[in-house]
Structure 1
Amino acid sequence: MRRLLPLLAALLLLATACTTGSAPDPKPADERWRPRAGLAWQWQLSGRLDPTVDVPVYDIDGFDHSAATVADLHRRGRKVICYLSTGAWEDFRPDAGRFPKSVLGKGNGWDGERWLDIRRTDVLEPLMAERIDMCRAKGFDAVEPDNMDGYRNRTGFPLTAADQLRYNRLIARLAHERGLAVGLKNDLDQIPQLLPDFDFAVNEQCAEYEECHRLAPFTAADKPVFHAEYERTPRQFCATSRELNLSSLQKHYDLGAWRRTC
């Protein structure tokens, strides 16, 4: 979870995206990117994008950036991950009005965001498929689906672990069918069951909460763990990150361009 651009800025960026050139052809599903553990990354979800960080992987907002931006990052030698919220509704997204009120739950702690009733796949699957189609059409290599652990939170719905497993596997399938890699966001308790379904993990604050060891199954399977801390400095987490082969950053909560690494 993270803070996002204000509504006006997001809509302006979306309008810019819509005026760029035609999207590239998607890759066949069997040729999707399969990242390996230890890759360095940059995570930027707000502010003016800085494309010059010399790392092989960028993770950026799927709505806010155009096919031209993704193509530019590819020319610089980057693989590009498409950030989407798949477990929470955001009132500032262009498709927000298509979500019926019946699937909107309690706020998740971020302005303009509410948990989704992930049991309602009849409603959510086509909406999420369209979002992932957008990522594919813009040329992204992978998807970072956020808010994938609603069952552990007060969502306003009686979600179970089984509900979460079904929904997370649905999101992974939608990405893989479109030739995109997909990451498991947080949801540490379900790593043993979901490891085969996901190509990498994205984690926030495992060092702060002393739970990075729970991500070891990903790196043991040679799948990267893209990891960020906000309150801990590299001096406090890098020894553990090196031991577990995590791809670790220190970031500010707004997830702008600023970063520190091990």
Structure 2
Amino acid sequence: MRNGLDERPTRGSRRALPACLALVVLATMVSCRPDPAPPGGPWPAASARDWQWQLTGVLDPAVEADVFVLDPVATTAAQTTELRSRGRRLICQVHVGSVHPDDPDAGRYPPPVRGATSSRTGRTWLDVRRWETLRPVLADRFRLCRGKGFGAVVLADADGYDQGSGFPLAFDDQLAFNRRVATLARSLDLSPGLLGALAQVAALAPDFDFAVNEECVRLKRCAKLLPFVDAGKPVFHVEYTGTTTDFCVTSVGYGFASILKNRTLDAWRQPCPPPP
């Protein structure tokens, strides 16, 4: 990363350098392949009803879902090729507002942009006001997604202003950052989606093509996602407790594509039946 900060390498940054280079080299290699267009018409399709979200465990490509949300680092090019051969549409999940020590490019985030660390996730919040510092790292993450054949990216941790980030972030700081990231994704031929960040959905729905939501039925917040539905954009929704009988009538009534999953986001899932 190049910016106006003192960039003399620390011992920690030197240790992180090989992993950083590995991610950059991988992104470069996959980006040299022919640009793979997402299969089958406009992306994402508002009619997509069946989806899968898997971030842990052995990937199951046989799941009968139209859309897969996956980790772009853990998912191999061979796996995305197989899924695409089955006509699946692929979304990569990228943490845009935080960094984890295990991230291959963690060393590219200098200390001044790092804030508080979540005790629950181990992820450290980033100062989203420092766009010139964050942009090159995010661009390389998005290039990795595109090079592996993903057609879309969903932005995780896009609500640091509301999460005790350690920085005096305002609502408008986050709003400006999220819009910039969506624009960056589009410039790299990825359809942008929003994970969570319900307080900003009304403002951001015009800037994003779809939404991913966790537990809006249990938390009684599903109505906040209606700006996406009203605009004809898909909402991919998951609940972690209860049964599909408990929540499907509500979520499908809102027009969401809904599934029941384990919180670990392994391969198991149970989809809601399609609307009559």
Q: Identify the TM-score tier after normalising by the shorter chain.
A: 0.7 to 0.9
8 A contact 1:207–1:232 mirrored in 2: no
Give the Cα separation in 2 of the matches to 1:115 and 1:231. 28
Task: Note the C-alpha offset of 1:39.
Answer: 2.3
Are residues 1:225 and 2:235 paired? yes
Partner Cα distance (1:162, 1:233) in 2: 38
Secondary structure of the structure 2 residue equivalent to 1:51: coil
Write the deviation string for residues 55-87 of structure 1: whole angstroms up to 9, x where unpaired. Answer: 110110011112221111010110000111111
**1:123 match: secondary structure:** helix
Contact 1:88 1:113 in 2 (8 A): yes
Q: Give the deviation of 1:107 after TM superposition.
A: 1.7
| Aligned counterparts of 1:106 and 1:26: Cα–Cα separation in 2 | 38
Question: What's 1:175 paired with?
Answer: 185
Aligned residue in 2 for 1:244: 254
Cα distance 1:245–1:116, how it changes in 2: closer, same or farther (>3 A)? same
Match in the other structure for 1:71: 81
Distance 2:42 2:35 in 1: 13
Task: Give yes or no for the alignment of 1:130 onto 2:116.
Answer: no
Runs of 4+ in 1 over 6 A off after TM superposition: none
Residue 158 of structure 2: aligned partner: 148
Distance 1:232 1:148 in 2: 27
Correspondence for 2:217 among 193, 196, 207: 207
Shift of 1:37: 4.4
Cα gap change, 1:80 to 1:176, in 2 (>3 Å): same
1:110, distance to aligned residue in structure 2 (A)? 3.6
Contact 1:191–1:215 (Cα < 8 Å) also in 2: yes
Q: 5+ residue gaps in structure 1?
A: 1-10
Q: C-alpha displacement at 1:38, in angstroms?
A: 4.6
Match of 1:198 among 200, 205, 208: 208
CA contact (8 A) 1:104 1:115 kept: yes
1:114 counterpart = 2:130: no
Q: Describe the SS at the equivalent of 2:46.
A: coil
Q: How far off is 1:117 after superposition?
A: 0.8
Structure possessing the higher radius of gyration over alpha carbons: 2
Matched residue of 1:260: which SS? strand
2:8 corresponds in structure 1 to: none
Matching residue's letter, 1:133: R
- The DSSP-based 3-state class of the residue aligned with 1:140 is coil
Q: Which structure 2 segments of 5+ residues have no match?
A: 1-18
Q: CA RMSD in A?
A: 2.3
Alpha-carbon distance between aligned partners in 1 of 2:82 and 2:234, rounded to the nearest angstrom: 23
What are the residue-to-residue correspondences of 1:57-96 with 2, within 5 Å? 57-96=67-106
Give the aligned length. Answer: 247
Look up the equivalent residue of 2:89 and give its one-letter code: K
Q: C-alpha displacement at 1:194, in angstroms?
A: 0.7
Q: What secondary structure does 2:167 align onto? A: coil
Q: Which residue of 2 aligns with 1:47?
A: 57
Amino acid in the other structure paired with 1:209:
L
Question: Could you tell me whether the CA contact under 8 Å between 2:48 and 2:67 is conserved in 1?
Answer: no
Secondary structure, counterpart of 1:257 in structure 2: coil
Residues in 2 aligned to 1:149 and 1:94: alpha-carbon distance in whole angstroms: 22
Using structure 2 for the length normalisation, give the TM-score.
0.84
Between the aligned residues of both structures, percent identity stands at 43
In the alignment, the residues of structure 1 paired with residue 150 and residue 257 of structure 2 have an alpha-carbon distance, to the nearest angstrom, of 20
